[in-house]
């Protein structure tokens, strides 16, 4: 028991099950590199402030490098008895360099230490996720430009509603992903504050230089209140919330791809490298990737609720509850990063079946609104026009044809305001081309929107 750094006031050993129950080393070893970076900055600051001797500082720095190399090589002897990554590294350092290792923890607590490590980790993950998000958006903008003229049925209630261009549909996902990136960049601002120097809860009696450490570790500044700094996990909640919205958006796209890849829709073929077969039904090519992404959304939503529940009603300041922040946070970050990577890789490989989309758009009376708008332009009040078109749709249903297949005499039977030029608006291309304003589905608008989308990407992810 003497190997525990806090064993001084104890006379009985820790219960064996309690030791395993309270340990976090199995999962917080992922923070090793951040812990070492934080410790090196702390040690150098202590040296600069004359709190540690130059000899001690250089022994600590090279000792920590050696420990980092051991970890990298997979040779680090992790110990459950040493509870967490912080005490494991410190004990190993002391084993290697002796007394200087015992001086590293001067002016610091594991409470401000773990908060620092976690913020460094989350910052790195946000940057990696932003990179994947940028690739994903780029793929969407490229595909949108290619498919600016492709007409498909736009849906509401999953019923054919009005024709849209596929490029327009794809750019809707670009917008979602763009907001996701903005949300993550915004969360990052609050992640990127240095809590080190807050000590256990009240600060420290040493003449430390927090600003220097912050600059050294790439933080934008220091946290303002020590009690808040050791007990704040809002930054983790915010980041996971942003991740949950990423997953919500990916799950919507996934759902559409699963539907569209079915023979009943036949709108897309997913790249074979992203599909799997069935062990019993030889004809199958299953859209496993979007299905799994859709399914993984629940992990991130679960993590968000875990974290919100974790911080609820905890008294100030640090409580051991906080140790439970890591697994949901790590899992959410891993899940969103992996899901974005696989979707970004898959999007450029999707084959869009333009004819099938056009046929589906033509079959669903999708230009009914255009006919109503046509009548309004002839002076018919909209509500009356709506009624007239309803009658025409019913006639087309009875004859098993589309609106554009009804002859002029039949159409004029519903309204005298209808003229020969009505067929211009009843075609799919006429319908989409007419929605020619910013935010509309007209092919020219989509090309402009795709160009602007790419420009927004160029201005930083």
Q: In the range 82-101, which residues lie near ligand ARG by CB under 6 A?
A: 84
Instruction: Point out the residues that are catalytic.
Output: 157, 278
Structure tokens at 168: 């327009």
- Tell me the CA distances in angstroms from 336 to 90, 131, 294, 298, one per residue in order: 32, 12, 11, 11
Q: In the range 25-84, which residues lie near ligand ARG by CB under 6 A?
A: 28, 84
> In whole angstroms, how close is the CB of 200 to ligand ARG at the nearest point?
7
Answer yes or no: are the C-beta atoms of 402 and 396 closer than 8 Å: yes
Rule CB under 6 A: say whether 342 interacts with ligand ARG: no
Q: Which is nearer to ligand ARG, 231 or 339 (CB)?
A: 231
Which among 170, 9, 162, 4 is positioned nearest to 88, based on CA atoms?
4
Q: How many residues bind ligand ARG (CB under 6 A)?
A: 10
> In whole angstroms, how close is the CB of 32 to ligand ARG at the nearest point?
13
> Which residue blocks in 321-417 are alpha helix, DSSP H?
326-346, 354-363, 368-377, 382-399, 408-414
Tell me the C-alpha distance between 136 and 393, whole Å. Answer: 40
Candidates 7-15, 232-240, 319-327, 395-403; binding stretch for ligand ARG (CB under 6 A): 319-327
Answer yes or no: are the C-beta atoms of 304 and 269 closer than 8 Å: no
> In whole angstroms, how close is the CB of 175 to ligand ARG at the nearest point?
38
Rule CB under 6 A: say whether 322 interacts with ligand ARG: yes
> In whole angstroms, how close is the CB of 190 to ligand ARG at the nearest point?
19
Among 231, 239, 323, 441, binds ligand ARG (CB under 6 A): 323
Tell me the C-alpha distance between 207 and 46, whole Å. Answer: 9
Q: What DSSP state is assigned to residue 52?
A: S
Rule CB under 6 A: say whether 204 interacts with ligand ARG: no
> In whole angstroms, how close is the CB of 6 to ligand ARG at the nearest point?
8
Tokens 């305001």 belong to 417
> In whole angstroms, how close is the CB of 323 to ligand ARG at the nearest point?
4
Q: Which is nearer to ligand ARG, 83 or 180 (CB)?
A: 83
Answer yes or no: are the C-beta atoms of 44 and 216 closer than 8 Å: yes
> In whole angstroms, how close is the CB of 120 to ligand ARG at the nearest point?
14
Which among 369, 432, 434 is positioned nearest to 169, based on CA atoms?
432
Rule CB under 6 A: say whether 111 interacts with ligand ARG: yes
Candidates 68-76, 126-134, 187-195, 316-324; binding stretch for ligand ARG (CB under 6 A): 316-324
Q: Which is nearer to ligand ARG, 150 or 306 (CB)?
A: 306
- Is residue 224 helix, strand or coil? coil
Tell me the C-alpha distance between 371 and 374, whole Å. Answer: 5
Answer yes or no: are the C-beta atoms of 322 and 308 closer than 8 Å: no
Answer yes or no: are the C-beta atoms of 395 and 405 closer than 8 Å: no
Q: Which is nearer to ligand ARG, 114 or 141 (CB)?
A: 114
Structure tokens at 220: 């934008």
> In whole angstroms, how close is the CB of 5 to ligand ARG at the nearest point?
11
Tell me the C-alpha distance between 364 and 164, whole Å. Answer: 13
Q: Which is nearer to ligand ARG, 121 or 318 (CB)?
A: 318
Among 40, 42, 44, 110, binds ligand ARG (CB under 6 A): 110
Q: How many residues does the chain have?
A: 461
Among 43, 67, 104, 114, binds ligand ARG (CB under 6 A): 114
Structure tokens at 5: 């750094």
Rule CB under 6 A: say whether 320 interacts with ligand ARG: yes
Q: Which is nearer to ligand ARG, 29 or 427 (CB)?
A: 29
Among 24, 94, 150, 306, binds ligand ARG (CB under 6 A): 24
CB count within 10 Å of CB 45 equals: 24
Q: Which is nearer to ligand ARG, 117 or 178 (CB)?
A: 117
Rg of the chain over Cα atoms, rounded to whole angstroms, equals 30
Q: Which is nearer to ligand ARG, 84 or 145 (CB)?
A: 84
Interface with ligand ARG (CB under 6 A): 24, 28, 84, 110-111, 114, 318, 320, 322-323
């Amino acid at each position: 028991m003497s190997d525990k750094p806090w064993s001084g006031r104890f006379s009985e050993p820790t219960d064996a099950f309690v030791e395993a129950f309270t340990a976090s080393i199995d999962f917080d070893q992922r923070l090793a590199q951040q812990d070492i970076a934080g410790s090196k900055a702390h040690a150098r600051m202590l040296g600069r402030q004359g709190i540690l001797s130059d000899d001690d500082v250089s022994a600590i720095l090279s000792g920590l490098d050696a420990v980092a190399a051991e970890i990298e090589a997979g040779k680090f002897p992790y110990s459950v008895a040493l509870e967490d990554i912080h005490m494991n590294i410190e004990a190993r350092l002391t084993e290697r360099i002796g007394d200087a290792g015992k001086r590293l923890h001067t002016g610091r607590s594991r409470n401000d230490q773990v908060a620092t490590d976690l913020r460094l980790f989350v910052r790195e993950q946000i940057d990696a996720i932003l990179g994947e998000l940028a690739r994903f958006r780029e793929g969407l903008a490229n595909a949108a430009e290619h498919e600016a003229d492709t007409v498909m049925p736009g849906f509401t209630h999953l019923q054919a509603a009005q024709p849209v261009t596929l490029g327009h549909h794809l750019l809707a996902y670009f917008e979602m992903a763009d907001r996701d990136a903005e949300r993550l960049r915004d969360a990052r601002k609050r992640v990127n504050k240095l809590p080190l120097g807050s000590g256990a809860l009240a600060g420290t009696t040493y003449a430390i230089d927090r600003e220097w450490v912050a600059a050294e570790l790439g933080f934008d500044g220091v946290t303002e209140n020590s009690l808040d700094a050791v007990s704040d996990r809002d930054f983790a909640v915010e980041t996971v919330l942003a991740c949950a919205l990423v997953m919500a958006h990916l799950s919507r796209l996934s759902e559409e791809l699963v539907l569209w890849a079915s023979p009943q829709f036949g709108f897309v073929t997913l790249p074979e490298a992203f599909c799997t077969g069935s062990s019993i039904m030889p004809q199958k090519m299953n859209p496993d990737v979007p299905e799994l992404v859709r399914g993984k959304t629940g992990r991130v939503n679960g993590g968000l609720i875990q974290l919100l529940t974790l911080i609820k009603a905890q008294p100030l300041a640090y409580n051991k509850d906080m140790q439970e922040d890591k697994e949901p946070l790590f899992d959410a970050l891993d899940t969103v990063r992996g899901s974005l990577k696989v979707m970004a890789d898959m999007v450029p490989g999707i084959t869009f079946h333009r004819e099938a989309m056009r046929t589906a758009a033509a079959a669903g009376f999708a230009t009914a609104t255009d006919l109503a708008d046509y009548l309004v332009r002839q002076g018919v009040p909209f509500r009356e026009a709506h009624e007239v078109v309803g009658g025409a749709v019913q006639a087309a249903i009875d004859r098993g044809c589309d609106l554009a297949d009804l002859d002029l005499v039949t159409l004029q039977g519903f309204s005298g305001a209808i003229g020969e030029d009505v067929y211009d608006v009843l075609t799919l291309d006429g319908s989409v081309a007419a929605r020619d304003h910013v935010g509309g589905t007209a092919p020219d608008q989509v090309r402009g929107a795709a160009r602007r989308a790419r420009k927004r990407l160029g201005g930083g992810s």
